[in-house]
Amino acid sequence: MNEHSPGPSRPIVNRRSFLTATAAGALLAPFAAHAQRDWSGKNPVRYPDPDIVVIDPRFAKYKLGNTPIQRLHVGTLWAEGPAWNGVGRYLLWSDIPNNVQLRWLEEDGHVSVFRNPSGNSNGNTFDYQGRQIACEHGNRRVVRYEYDGSITVLADKWDGKPLNAPNDAVVHPNTHDIWFTDPGYGSLMNYEGNKGPLHLKEAVYRMDGSSGKMEMVTDEIFKPNGLCFSPDYKKLYIADTGSTHYPEAPKIIKVWDINGEKKLSNGRRFASMDLPGVGAGLADGIRADVDGNIWASAGWVGDGYDGVHIFAPDGVRIGQIRLPEMCSNVCFGGTKRNRLFMTGSQSLYSVYVETQGAHIT
């Protein structure tokens, strides 16, 4: 998406309560100390990290008491599209305006340019054969990088018209179908792609994993952005960022039922991005954990809001990870899939959590 002092007394805790934060006293003031913390890591934050916030007791078990939010890299213009490669043990992500993809190696934290140019790619993922799939803003298409290095264009048109600018994609493990959103942000300005008209209503599409045939599965959303499956693949969640261009658009995450692994029905609001007392921003990239919680990147409000908001399966906000800049996207990775990677506007962050991602990336 584009657009614009602790008190003098210290409680006595045992190791169990130290390692897994309890809900008592965990809900901190919206504007806390993270703006003053040293994100270089040279002056470590005191445990438990004050910017991993328990809002609802259900989130307490996911917060580790002895782990920090870390900034892994800084220097991008608009970081997006994180995807974890389990074989290579690296995190791939996009810097859309700089027209490159970057790679962070788990073994030593080394960052290098992975692909240049990248077609102003936004969302990335890997299929179940290990091939990278990228949504290219600049070329208005979804592509797959093959084992020999060649590029296969998976989708660039619908109903004879060019796509708007595909944004994010996910792959179904049973059918190998690729589901993707097409809100068109990359075509609205030259900064993230090539400025041009949108010829299609913003929509969500599915490409059949066997035939490659494309189907529009819903356009009942203003601007579909990040998307993810539920752990059992019976629901599809999509962030609506339409308020950037449609004043009447709600700032929400929607959810649909998936019928027969192919069709969507019963689209409805899952969660509101309004944080009482702080403001209402936008969700962008989203991922599910194995318990069905939705981890949503959040931004466009400021301190106390920007970062990651975590929603229980019933749509109630239960936790936050606060960052010093807005967050565009998230994914689970690391050897045990228990490390949340977060692309900020100019940085890459990570934090270990006591859960695992529901999907391979």
pLDDT tier for residue 34 given thresholds of 50, 70 and 90: low
pLDDT above 90 covers a percentage of the chain that reads: 90
Report the pLDDT value the prediction gives residue 26, as an integer from 0 to 100.
39
Of 248, 252, 229, the residue nearest 240 (C-alpha)? 252
Give the count of domains, the chain. Answer: 1
Residue-level pLDDT at 333: 98
pLDDT digits (tens, 9 = 90+) for 18-30: 344 333 333 434 4
What was the pLDDT predicted at 14? Answer: 43
- Rounded average pLDDT over 257-263: 98
3-state secondary structure of 52: strand
Residue 36 — pLDDT band, cuts 50, 70, 90? confident
12 in any annotated domain:
no
Query: Is 38 among the domain residues?
Result: no
Least confident of 10-14, 16-20, 31-35: 10-14
- pLDDT (average), residues 183-199: 98
Classify residue 32: in a domain, yes or no. no
Q: What is the mean pLDDT of residues 4-28?
A: 37
Residue-wise pLDDT tens digits, 279-304: 999 999 999 999 999 999 999 999 99
Residue 287 lies in a domain: yes
- Residue range 314-325: average pLDDT? 98
Q: How confident is the model at residue 15 (pLDDT cuts 50, 70, 90)?
A: very low
In a domain, 61, yes or no: no
Secondary structure of the chain: what % helix, strand, coil (to 5)? 5, 45, 50
CATH number of residue 105's parent domain: 2.120.10.30
Task: For residue 261, give every residue at least 6 positions away whose Cβ sits within 8 Å of its Cβ, in sequence order, or none.
Answer: 172, 174, 175, 177, 233
What is the Cα gyration radius of the chain? 19
The stretches of 154-285 forming alpha helices (DSSP H) are none
Provide the residue range defining the domain that includes 154. 79-305+329-341
Inside any domain, residue 264: yes
Q: What is the pLDDT of residues 40-96, one digit of tens each?
A: 989 999 999 999 999 999 999 999 999 999 999 999 999 999 999 999 999 999 999
Q: What is 162-199 written as a DSSP string?
A: E-S----EEE-TTT--EEEEE--GGGS-GGGS------
pLDDT at 311 over 70: yes
Q: What percent of the chain has pLDDT over 70?
A: 90
Give residue-wise pLDDT tens across range 326-341: 999 999 999 999 999 9
Q: What is the DSSP letter of 57?
A: G
pLDDT reading at 8 higher than 60:
no
pLDDT, tens digit (0-9, with 9 covering 90-100), for 107-155: 999 999 999 999 999 999 999 999 999 999 999 999 999 999 999 999 9
Alpha carbon distance 50, 135 (integer Å): 35
Q: What is the pLDDT of residue 183?
A: 98
Q: Bridge-partner residues for 161, per DSSP?
A: 158
In sequence order, the 6+-apart residues with CB closer than 8 A to the CB of 189 are 2, 195
pLDDT at 181 over 80: yes
Rounded distance, CA 116 to CA 349, Å? 22
